[in-house]
């Protein structure tokens, strides 16, 4: 089920606990970005998601529209317009499991930058590797 994020001005969604990303598993998270209860057409946007240990540390994981880790679409008929793709090898290489932060930055066709969503991030560690 997609997560609905309403701009107000910045959505907060924590990928922790039951929403933690499973390590060593291909996993997707879908979101619907809306303004005033209207889905925003993101098909002409680019974007980047970064996961860091702290706000000032170097990125542990970068997903974007260029590497296929962040897929942006029109959101027609209230379908998700943001899809985050976590691939097993990327999460398996991470050595920090809890206490991380992330956000997603969207860049519009005119260059307007919007921080869309932010939150806490953790991996649900795999037992069988």
Domain ranges of the chain: 3-122
Nearest-angstrom CA–CA distance, 15 and 80: 17
List the alpha helices (DSSP H) in the chain.
88-92
* Rg from Cα positions in the chain: 14
Q: What is the pTM of this model?
A: 0.90
Nearest-angstrom CA–CA distance, 23 and 123: 6
Nearest-angstrom CA–CA distance, 74 and 55: 30
Nearest-angstrom CA–CA distance, 82 and 80: 6
The per-residue pLDDT for range 67-116, each reduced to its tens digit, is 999 999 998 877 899 999 999 999 999 989 999 999 999 999 999 998 98
The per-residue pLDDT for range 34-57, each reduced to its tens digit, is 888 889 999 999 999 999 999 999
Does the structure show a pLDDT above 80 at 26?
yes
Check whether domain 3-122 has CATH 2.60.40, yes or no: yes
Nearest-angstrom CA–CA distance, 9 and 39: 15
Please, which pLDDT band fits residue 7 given cuts at 50, 70 and 90? low
């Amino acid at each position: 089920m997609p997560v609905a994020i309403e701009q107000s001005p910045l959505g907060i969604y924590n990928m922790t606990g039951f929403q933690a990303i499973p390590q060593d598993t291909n996993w997707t998270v879908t979101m619907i970005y809306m303004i005033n209860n209207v889905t925003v057409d993101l098909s002409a946007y680019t974007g980047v998601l970064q996961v860091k240990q702290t706000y000032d540390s170097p990125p542990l994981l970068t997903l974007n529209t260029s590497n296929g880790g962040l897929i942006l679409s029109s959101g027609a008929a209230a379908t998700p317009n943001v899809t985050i793709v976590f691939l097993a090898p990327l999460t398996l290489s991470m050595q920090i499991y809890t206490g991380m932060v992330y956000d997603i930055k969207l860049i519009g066709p005119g260059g307007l930058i919007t921080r869309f969503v932010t939150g806490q991030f953790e991996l649900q560690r795999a037992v069988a590797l």
